Structures are given as structure tokens and as C-alpha cells.
Structure 1
Amino acid sequence: MLKPASTISPELNVFRDPASVAVVGASADPAKWGHWLAKGALAGRHRRDVYLVNHAGRPVLGTQTYANLSELPVAPELVAVCVPAAHVGAVVDEALELGARGLLGITAAVADEGDIGIRVRAAGARMIGMNSLGIYDASAELHLAWGNFVSGSIAVISQSGQLGSEIAKLAAQAGLGVSRFVSIGNQTDVGAAEVLSALIDDEATQIVALYLEGFTNGRTIIETIAALRAAGKHTLLLTVGGSDASSRLARSHTGSMTSSTAMVDAAARAAGAVRVKTPAELVDVAQLLLGSGTPRGRRVAVVGDSGGQTGIAADVAADAGLEVPEFSDTLRTELGLLLPPAAANANPVDLAGAGEQDLKVYARVVEILLNSNEVDAVALTGYFGLYGEDTPALTDQESGVAAALGATAQQCGKPLVVHTMARSNVVTEVLNQHGVAVYSTIENALRAVHYAQELTRSPRPLTSAPRASDVPVAAGYPAARELLSDRGVRFPAGAIVGSPSDLESVAAQLSPPYVLKAGWLEHKSEMGGVRIGLADSTELSAALSDMRERLGDGQYVVEELDDRPNVVEMLVGARRDPDLGAVVLVGAGGTEAELYRDVTVELAPVDTDTALAMIDRLTCAALLRGWRGRPAVDTASLAQIVVTVSELAAAHTDIAEIDINPVRVGIDSAIAVDALVIPADTTNAP
């Protein structure tokens, strides 16, 4: 199970509401970091003592400065360090000697950064940074960062200061604000998990915007995000890759198809978060969550006064993974009483001019749909919001309709999103005030609904990994076959052949047709290391002679051919990410697996229900369920292999990758016919 994250450690409170702050490197030059830090710190001096340190000792912003920390009348609790890299170490040491409890490292490219972090921790202090853009806390009126912030309910935790600043600015433009801003920078000391943990009990924070370039201590981060979710706070995640494992050349099908973003998505699902692609998408989702909330399902009603715009919206909804269901006759009849005969009322709903004749029709139609049990959200698209702008006499009436739309959405507890051709005006402001998220494009609106719906999934409990075996992991197919067979994975009957003299007894034990494999090769087909359909011992002997001549001596494996009809070939694998731990994969298998790349990934280990859900998300799941008259196959046995592989990968830190391809799934069972296990100590071997 995911363990609940602990609450913030007391020593981190210094970064939220310190009793005193010193800015080292304070400057009167508005173009310098020291100016912004000094300006922000001074804005909170009614709440705490603020000291400015400047080696020249000249006043900054009309405030006395000191030449160094030692001249201060009292030892500051929090010291912001914004000096040239060569001087950072000396400033930190001086602060620690005075008893500072917290340090904010702004300076980048500090040569002895690692040693500084060690000294900070040894002194019992903590540091955020180095290479931080700063910190901000609206409730505590603490502003030690470049730029200006609008107070609100979004906590921005970002490894990139600039990107975090972009999120804050986009939020402000959307009428939202920031509760807390922490640019964690290089995480010399304080890491992302600790900063996130500090938000669990933060009443001002409702949404967490998290940008990470790497997932050091990834499982702890997942546990903390799950704890945030349990506290009622959604996390919206941004990343550019998620793991340095993505840069490593994979040796297996599994390795080549588990991209870093796929693993981050798996981590997000486990934690109950969602990964978005851009800062703008993040703010779009935050608008919806902070307004009318999450939809209970994927069913969306599309409404507009243009057939073209509603038709486009329906297509965009489908592309976003949402459903635009056809309405029942009862609902269509109810809508038809409000609309002209030419109106479309099956979904999407084209008002066919009714909205222009009477703006209140918008509110009535949306009210009917939001109160219906046939939809989970409503998307209003097109001209609404522009009537009053183009015809000022309609402004009050349109504003009243906007207020009614928001009141209905709040009363029904279902999201209403509005795509309008208008820019910000009186009507869009009324919509925002009533909790309706407004977007300039329909794709932005419906993507936000999609992401918000994804957040309705509960965090996935991670089952405990079984106790690791003491048996060492060896390379090669025979070893992989033995390891997996011992855990219940079925393989065809087979035997190892060391030399031609072994063939006669082996052939007698097995039933033809035979399969011959060069057991030590990782990619047998490409090397000519596999022959199938060998009819008798004569063909088997000839095939072995050919392989030995081309490939040399080694362990060859003879197996019975699995020639069952109506079999679907699948891939099951696992790999170990250095930060997120073991992940398990299932997908379309065979020699074209990397071409189709139809796979799903989850953090390991998984239980049977999760394995079945992974299989069900695949495009090729239709083949497993029976396609065009073919019988359904034994999906349960495939799911059991997924569970087994996930447990094996989670328990064995000495396994880098597991690859079973193909797993031949028939109507009665699933049988693995090739497998590869890569020991961790050989992952980077040539």
C-alpha cells in the first residue's frame, strides 16, 4: 500500500513564515536579483525583521544595509544568498556560524555546491536551491523571488524557476493566483517530496502545480502526492522526460517501449495525479477544478448556436477521449420544446438561431442538460459572450444569462465549460465569478474536461512486493525460462541441447513439430537463431548443425511448437527505473511489437484487477475479446503473467529488464514462447 506521507518537518517552517530574513547581495539596481529579493522582503517587514546585506554598505530602497551578516543586530532565521558563485560558500558558512536555520540559494553554477549542502545539513539547518528563482507564501506575506505574484490557491513547486514563473503568470491572467511558490532548483538539500509534504496541511492551497525534470526519490514523491490527494488537493504534473533511464539504449522490446513519460504517467495514476503537457494546459485544468470541479464521467453535451462550431466541438471531444452520447427520445423531446424545428437536439445541440432570438434559451437548454442523468459535463461553444460586446444594449441581459449558467452548474455539481469568440469582457468576468471556466478555443476547454475527468480516479494502492529470492539472476533464455517457470509462467515442453549427441534423447521426450533456439541470443530472429515447425528429428538435426556452424557452440533449446488455433500474440515485460522503481508493461506482441507500440504501463507490483485494466486499455484488447467471429481468449491467464512479472521485477533489484515476447494467448491458456531477463549489472554492457 502507499504509505501516507509525513507532515512537514519543523525545520522547514523557516521557509514559510520566518521571524527574520536577511538578503545577502541586496541591490539598488532593478535589473539585478538582489533588488527583487530586497523589494519583496521589505514588503513583509511589518510581519518580520528584514535585514539587507550589501558589501558596499550603501542604502537600498531607502533602507540601511550592512557590509556582512556578522554586523546584523540579531542572527536572522532565513538568509537569502544572492552573491557571485565564488562567494556563496563563505556567506553560507557565516550564516551557519551565526545560527541561521534556513538558507535560500539563488546563485547558479556554484562549484562546491555538494559540499555546501553537506555543511548545511551538518549544522542542523536546511537549504532551498541552489539555482532557485525564490520562494513566496501569500498567507505569510513572504516574498523572496523574482517577479510579482497574485495571491490565490495554486501552489507552484518547480524545478525550473522560469517555468514556475510562467505558470504563476498564466494563472494570474486567468484570474487565478498562487498560495505558495517554491523554486526548488538543484535540490542541493531540500527536495521536491519535502516541499510537497508541506502543502498537505496548508489550508490556502487547493491545487498543486508540480514541474520536475527528474524523479529522485520517486516513490516518496508518489506517496506524498497520494497524501495530497487524500487531503483533497489535486496535483497537476509537468515534466520533460521524468527519468534519465530514457536516454539509455534499451536491449529489449520492453525497454524500447517504456518511454520516460509513460513511466511518469504510470506514477501519476498510482498517486491520483495527472500529467499535462504545457503550462497553459495546467492552468486550463486548474480553472475548471477551482470552478465547477471534476466531471463524474466522460459524457459531454455540446451546445452552441452554430452547426459548424458544435460539429467541430463534437470531433474535438472525441479526440480528447470524451464521449458525446446521443440523447434519449425523452431528453430530445424536452429540448425540442425550446428550439425551432430545424434545430439539432440529439447531441451536439445546435440552437439554430434560438439563442439569438432569446438569450435565455442558452440558460434553459444548459439547465436541462446539467440536470439530466445522461451527461457528466456541458460544453457551450461559439458566440455566447460576444452579444453584449457587439450590441451593447444586450450586455445586461447576456450578463444575467451568464450568472444563471453559473448558478445552475454550481447547483447541479457538474462542470460547465464555455468556449467563446469574445476576449475578456463583462460577460466572461461574470462567468468566471460564478465558477464557470472560460476558454478562447474549444480544444482548450475540452482538454481541460478530459484531464479533470482523469483526476476522478482514486490513487492506485501499490501491493507489497514479495520477498526477494536468493537465487541469482542469470542471462540467457534457459535461465529466464527456469526463473519464470518456477513462478508459474507456462512455457512449451522443452529441453536444453548442448551437442548433437543430445538430440536423440531430447527428440524422443518431445512431440513434433519442434522449435530450435539459440538460448544465449537476446534477439534470436534477427540473428537467425530460431527455427520453427521442424517436422521430425531429421529436420531438427539439420537445423542444429546449421546453427552451430553459423553461431558456434552454446546452449540450444528444443521445444514443442505451440500451434494452437486462434492465438493472440502479446508482450509482457518489466524494467527498473533508477528513480521510480520497477514498472510492468503489457501490449501487442510478436516481431512487430515495436512497430505498433500498443502498450500500457503501470508501477510494479500490480494486482489482478490492475492487470486486467491494463489489458482492457489496449487497442488490441478487441482481439483478445474475440474479433470478427474469432473466439475470445483466456485474458485471465495473461493477466496472471502480468502480475507474476510485476512481482518478480519489484522483488528483484538485481533485474534490470524482463521481456516475454511473444506470450501466445489461446482460448484455454497463455503460454510464453520466448523470454529475456537482463541482470542489472549488465544493463550498460555493449
Structure 2
Amino acid sequence: MSFPQAFVDPSSVAVVGATEDRAKWGYWLATGALAGADRRQVLLVNRRAAQVLGQPCRPTVGDLPQAPDLVVVCVPPRHVLPVVRDALAKGCRAFLAITTGLGADEARLAALLRESGARMIGPNSLGLFNAATQLRLAWGNFTPGSLAIVSQSGQLGSEIAGLGARAGLGVSRFCSVGNQLDVGAVDVLESLVGDEHTTTVALYLESFADGARIVTALEALRRAGKHALVLTTGASEGSRRLARSHTGSMTSALDVVDAACRAAGALRVTSPRELVDTARVLDTTTAPGGRRVAIISDSGGQGGIAADLATSRGLRAPVFTERLRSGLRELLPDAAAVSNPVDLAGAGEADLQVYARVAELVAASGEVDSIVLSGYLGCYGEDSPSLVDAESAVIDRLGRFGRLERLDRLDRLGSRHRTDAVRVPLVVHSMSAASPAVVRLREHGVPVFDTVDAAVGALGHVTRLGARPRPAPATVRTEAAVPLPGYWAARTFLTALGIAMPEARRVTDAAGFADACGSLRPPLVLKAGWIEHKSEHQAVSTGLGPDTAAAVFREMYERLGPGEYVVEEQDTRPGVVEMLIGARRDRDFGPTVAVGHGGVHAELWRDVSVELAPVDRRTAAGMLDRLRSRRLLEGWRGQPAVDVDALIDAIVAVSEAIAATPGVADIEVNPIRVGPEGALAVDALVVPRTADVVPESACEATGANGRRESTEEQEISREHVH
């Protein structure tokens, strides 16, 4: 069902539970609705008052003169169903439900909405706001701007709006989706794609039901020229999902969310402050074209800290060429550092215009993609009033970065063309939080922060958003047959994908084992094929030769009993690196693929990279580049480089297999031994998809946006809002 226009720009609004008590929800909803009375009809409902805020009140929705376009429900839980029934009978089809604590009535309410074709945001919603249409149906006030907030937690969404307002960043739309009984966050995201007043979307979710559709909506936002910042929970050990493969125990809930963000071109942040800081930069400048950053400071210590922070945020501070260093020497004293970071060595105090001259020279060099200016600038006029004019002059000059960057951002959205636009974003760290100079920088559109970690952290996030997005998944091969349990079936499944495995034989008794040993090249490996994690159960034995094989088989058979055993030729190639490839079917986001450092110590190192499946070769190569163990593949301490292309082929093949085979829940190849002359999978597990092994969600659903308590009063007070 489409997202109703009634949630964006209703022609009429009825507030059920309106009151004049400022401590009650009904007051804020009524006053907010009346603030838009010149755009729409506002109707108030209160069964015990004939008048509220100078406006006439009706006792029930049924007593209203006509059916309102949107009904806001703010009554005690036991009254919600009767109110909705009355409104449906009146002809209403759009509801915003603030009330929480419905209990069993929530299921009845959902059924009632489905039967009538009506839509509802909530229950347990903190409300709606739309700056462009004068729609304010929420507790508190909002500063208009370009940031849309879609939040499962109403109070956290409100915190983001408040932080943004204090930082000069306003809100275009706010929607607290609450329990998502009917309208979900994804419905709101889809409605924002065409919203011309929104440039950045903040999304907070605790659960990711319908994850594939969320990814599609985030992709659509990016294509529309909007950025999406995602905030969620799930970093704790308790949020990890359990699976029968090693891979499942090595990846966290957030690994899958991050993979989904990469696939969509969105970015996950870790706190409301981090989200707002990043949105502030996005609101005033374009994303850098790469990771190269120049650090310019009037303090060697602050410049060094900024450079270290930049590296930790994935940025790179390259050494400047001699040509650029020579140009900087002409501007700066002999004691200045000019290689990057740049230390002005007191030049700024002698002539404040040096800050702008150095930034402009570096920006024009073509050697960096962004600039961080860190230190005392912004404090001169505050501490020494005689310097106010001089500092204002240099601020105005630096303001050119902000002005032209905003024009360049419009150019990318197709609004205009500027060939002379500065394309190197400038982010400023000032030791002053709110001096007139800092305020002036913000007015010019230059993002400025009072801590260097906030400045560099926001720039790092924006740089990641500006990177080339992950390519769309390729068309996968025809669905493969779901294998039977056991290692031999897993071998057959993987070899059909083109993944090389050692020569092997399947045996069930001593005679068959002896025949297999006679046809294979020692040393050999013996495995109990029906046992999934063989090392833990002593169900695998390696290095078998003619003198030891029979005794080992006899001991294992007597200990583990009859079953399907597999004898393989052991891989003894030198210079091999053991890796792991795993694929899982996430309950919310669907197929995923992972690669990491493998072998029996895989779970100890937990060096894993995850993407949504399927992946192409470029994405698979990027997965390897994110691993700490990546250097082992290039040759480590005299070891030869291995065949990375063969490993990439295997990653792609496994990713396509999990995407094309809905009947498979888990695939694990561990280890896949990668040498200079190819990759060989020497153990594998394929788990059929059954009710008891479907992986858990990326984040456990809470079904609510907080822990508000209900009240038996008709007007609900603010103290009951989380």
C-alpha cells in the first residue's frame, strides 16, 4: 500500500484527547495542529470539554461535522479501539497513534486496519513533523531544515532533532514510527525519495524486518541525491546470532547492517552526536572525491593529533610534492612544517590571512581531496577585540569554500553548473565553540567543530559516503539442488560451483577404506563425514600413510560408529594461507557472504569481512582488502604471494550459490587453502534451511520504540514518554 498523503500534508486533522494542560500530550498535539490552521482544518475532540485552546471541542469523532483526513489518537489504551472504530465508521482512513500499552488490543487493532484498508503510524509514536507543510503533531518544537528523521525510538529521534537544532541543523520531516503496527520505517523512507526539502535522512531502527526492502529504499534515496545515515543497536556480545557454522559465531549483528549500508550506499554511525556531526558537514559541502586529506594547524601538537585521528578514520595524509612544499615555504617562516601536516609556526599570528592563503594553495594543488584546519582560528577576536575585523576578513575569505561547495552540491543534483567551484571541502576545528568568528564560519557554510575528533570523524564519514557505491548484485546462476547432509554431499555441491577440492573417496567399512587408500596418493586425511565440526569431536585425522592408515580408521570407526567416512589426499603445498568463506541467509536481509582468516583458529582471530550476496569480483576484492590478514596473501616474511584471483573466484561462487539456492541456510568452506598456484577447499559444510536453523535477525526486534507506561487518564502526560 502507498504512503498516504494524509501523513505528509493532510487537508484536515482531528486531535482526539486535546487538552489545555501543558503537561499532557493532548496539549502539544492540539497546539501543534493549530499552528497549521491556515493550511488545513483542525478539529479537536475531548469527551469532557466543550472548548480547548479557544476552539470548540466535540465529544467523539463521530460527532465531527465531516471525516478528517488524519486522526491523531491520544487517549488511554482502553479507549483506542473504540476511537478507531468510530473514526472508521465516519470514513477516516489515516491514523497517528501516540498511545502505548495496548496489550492484546494491538492485534485487534492491526486486524481492524487491514479489514478497512486504513493506515496507521504507531502506536507508541512520538509524532509527526513536516516543515514544508506546517504539520506539527509531536511533543516539543522543531527547527526547520533539510534533515529528515525516521526513528523507531521517538525519544532518540527527538534527541537527534535537538542536537541538530543546537548545531544549526534543522529538520525537514520527523516521523516516529513506534511499534510499526502498520506503517513501517521503510514506508517513510520511500516517501522521502521525492521530497525536495530533504537532503539527508537519519534512520534509527532496533529491528530490520523487511530488510531487503529497506536496502532498496536507501538505494533509491542515494540515486535521488540524498544521503542516508543509519543508527542502530546490536554491538554487544548478547546481540550475536547463533548458527551451526563457524562463520555465524564470528560475525555480529552490526556486520550485516554494515554490509546492507554498503550495498545501499548508506552509512552507519554509532551515536546521535556522530550522526548530527556528519549531517552538518553533508548539509554544507560535497563529499570529498577521495581519502587524501591535508592537515593545516597553528600548533604542531594539534596537527599531529589531527593526522593520527585522520588515519584512524580511514583518511590518508599524503606527503606533499616538492612543488607544493616550495609554494608553502614562500608563505611560511623557516620553522614551519610543510610536508603534511602543515604547522604554520606562528605565521597566523603575524598575519591572519595566512590561514586562507595556505588553505587556498593546498586546495588548488590537486594533491588532496579535503582539508582540516585546526587550532586557534575563531579565538583571536574573542580573546583580543582589536583583532575582530582582521579575523572576520579571513573568515570571509575562507567562507568561499563553503559558498562554492554548496553550489557544487547543487550542480551534482542537476540544478546548476559551476566550472569555477572549489572541489576540496574544508572542515574547521576551532578552540572556540561559539565565538562570533565561529558563527560567521557557519553562516558561510563552512562546517566548524569545537573538538578535532568531531571534525575529523565527521569528515571521515562523509568521505566514506562519497566513495563509489558497491555495484548492484549480478544475476546469479540457476538454482542448485539442496544437498543432503554430510561432507560428501557438500563436496559435490561445491565442486559443481567450480571450487577445487582434493581427490577423495567415500567409504563405509574397512574394506572400502583399504581400496580407497590404494587409489589415492598419501599422505591422506580421514574424516567422519556426517559430523559438522570435526576437529572438536576428533573426527578428522591427517598425515596418514600406508603404515598408520588402517589402525587410525579402525580406532575412529570403533569410537564414532558406522557412517559415511571420506578419505582425501592431503594438501601439502608450501606457502599456503588458510582462509574461510562462509555464506548465510539472514532472516531480515537475506543472503550474505563472508571471508576471513580460516583454519582451526578462525574464531580466535575473528578477522572477517561481510557483504550482502551475491557479490561481484570487485566487491569480493574489497572484502579481502578490509581484512587484517590481507598481507598474508601478498607474501609475508619471505613467503610467496598466493593466487588471490582464485580466492576471489571462490568468494563470488559461494555468494551466488547462497543467493540462488533458497533451500540452503549456511555454506562454509573452512579452510580454503590458497597457494601460489591456486585455491583448494579442504573442508566444507552446507546446512539445509529448516525451521530450527534459520539464522537470527540482524537485530532482535523490540516491537516498540521505548518503555512508556500507560495511564488511565484521558490526556496522556509527557512523563509517560520514553
TM range (shorter): over 0.9
Match of 1:177 in 2: 170
Given that 1:292 and 1:413 are in contact with CA atoms closer than 8 Å, whether structure 2 keeps it comes out as no
Decide which of 102, 119, 123 is 1:126's aligned counterpart.
Answer: 119
Distance in 1, Cα, partners of 2:176 & 2:306: 37
1:559-600 CA deviation, whole Å, 9 max, x = no partner? 001000101100000111111001000111111111111111
Decide which of 527, 532, 539 is 1:529's aligned counterpart.
Answer: 539
CA drift at 1:685: 9.8
Secondary structure at the counterpart of residue 501 of structure 2:
coil
Q: Structure 2 matches for 1:416-427, cutoff 5 A? A: 416-427=426-437
Are 2:48 and 1:56 equivalent residues in the alignment?
yes
Distance in 1, Cα, partners of 2:9 & 2:345: 57
Question: Which deviates further from its counterpart, 65-74 or 174-183?
Answer: 65-74
CA drift at 1:244: 13
Match of 2:561 in 1: 552
Match of 1:575 in 2: 584
Secondary structure at the counterpart of residue 64 of structure 1:
strand
Distance in 2, Cα, partners of 1:66 & 1:122: 27
Distance in 2, Cα, partners of 1:474 & 1:109: 47
Match of 1:440 in 2: 450
Secondary structure at the counterpart of residue 337 of structure 1:
helix
Are 2:459 and 1:467 equivalent residues in the alignment?
no
Distance in 1, Cα, partners of 2:206 & 2:483: 32
Secondary structure at the counterpart of residue 338 of structure 2:
coil
Match of 1:116 in 2: 109
Match of 1:680 in 2: 689
Are 2:95 and 1:75 equivalent residues in the alignment?
no
Are 2:175 and 1:164 equivalent residues in the alignment?
no
- Residue type of the alignment partner of 2:116: A
Change (3 A) 1:468 1:91: same
Decide which of 324, 342, 346 is 1:353's aligned counterpart.
Answer: 346
Distance in 2, Cα, partners of 1:419 & 1:531: 60
CA drift at 1:58: 4.0
Match of 1:5 in 2: none
1:72-98 CA deviation, whole Å, 9 max, x = no partner? 111111000011111111111111111
Given that 1:656 and 1:683 are in contact with CA atoms closer than 8 Å, whether structure 2 keeps it comes out as no
Are 2:29 and 1:37 equivalent residues in the alignment?
yes
- Residue type of the alignment partner of 2:562: D
CA drift at 1:60: 2.1
Secondary structure at the counterpart of residue 198 of structure 1:
helix
Distance in 1, Cα, partners of 2:617 & 2:305: 40
Are 2:506 and 1:496 equivalent residues in the alignment?
yes
User: Which consecutive residues of structure 2, in runs of 5 or more, have no partner in the other structure?
Assistant: 405-420, 696-722
Distance in 1, Cα, partners of 2:241 & 2:221: 32
Match of 1:319 in 2: 312
Distance in 2, Cα, partners of 1:247 & 1:254: 11
Are 2:408 and 1:415 equivalent residues in the alignment?
no
Are 2:88 and 1:88 equivalent residues in the alignment?
no
Match of 1:256 in 2: 249
Match of 1:364 in 2: 357
Question: Which deviates further from its counterpart, 136-145 or 671-680?
Answer: 671-680
Given that 2:401 and 2:446 are in contact with CA atoms closer than 8 Å, whether structure 1 keeps it comes out as no
Match of 1:658 in 2: 667
Match of 1:590 in 2: 599
Decide which of 91, 96, 111 is 1:99's aligned counterpart.
Answer: 91
Structural RMSD (CA): 1.7
Secondary structure at the counterpart of residue 455 of structure 1:
helix
Distance in 2, Cα, partners of 1:399 & 1:171: 25
Are 2:633 and 1:628 equivalent residues in the alignment?
no
Given that 1:126 and 1:189 are in contact with CA atoms closer than 8 Å, whether structure 2 keeps it comes out as yes
Secondary structure at the counterpart of residue 181 of structure 1:
strand
1:480-521 CA deviation, whole Å, 9 max, x = no partner? 111111221111001112111212211111111110111111
Q: TM-score, normalized by length of structure 1?
A: 0.96
Decide which of 299, 302, 307 is 2:292's aligned counterpart.
Answer: 299
- Residue type of the alignment partner of 1:53: V
Change (3 A) 1:679 1:335: same
Change (3 A) 1:133 1:30: same
Distance in 2, Cα, partners of 1:475 & 1:584: 20
Distance in 2, Cα, partners of 1:64 & 1:558: 86
Distance in 1, Cα, partners of 2:268 & 2:694: 33
Distance in 1, Cα, partners of 2:312 & 2:240: 30
Given that 1:491 and 1:671 are in contact with CA atoms closer than 8 Å, whether structure 2 keeps it comes out as yes
Distance in 1, Cα, partners of 2:659 & 2:180: 27
Count of residue correspondences: 676
Change (3 A) 1:539 1:459: closer
Distance in 2, Cα, partners of 1:138 & 1:408: 28
Distance in 1, Cα, partners of 2:350 & 2:114: 70
Decide which of 7, 17, 20 is 1:25's aligned counterpart.
Answer: 17
Match of 1:645 in 2: 654
Distance in 2, Cα, partners of 1:443 & 1:406: 22
Distance in 1, Cα, partners of 2:646 & 2:39: 64
1:103-151 CA deviation, whole Å, 9 max, x = no partner? 0011112122133123223222211111110000000000001111000
Given that 1:214 and 1:241 are in contact with CA atoms closer than 8 Å, whether structure 2 keeps it comes out as no
Given that 1:254 and 1:658 are in contact with CA atoms closer than 8 Å, whether structure 2 keeps it comes out as no
Are 2:496 and 1:486 equivalent residues in the alignment?
yes
- Residue type of the alignment partner of 2:76: P
Distance in 1, Cα, partners of 2:94 & 2:74: 14
1:517-566 CA deviation, whole Å, 9 max, x = no partner? 11111211111111111122x31111111112222222111100100010
Q: Greater relative contact order (Cα 8 A, min sep 6): structure 1 or 2?
A: 2
Given that 1:318 and 1:324 are in contact with CA atoms closer than 8 Å, whether structure 2 keeps it comes out as yes
Aligned-pair identity (%): 53
Secondary structure at the counterpart of residue 527 of structure 2:
strand
Given that 1:80 and 1:103 are in contact with CA atoms closer than 8 Å, whether structure 2 keeps it comes out as yes
Distance in 2, Cα, partners of 1:521 & 1:514: 18
- Residue type of the alignment partner of 2:559: R
Change (3 A) 1:231 1:374: same
Match of 1:428 in 2: 438
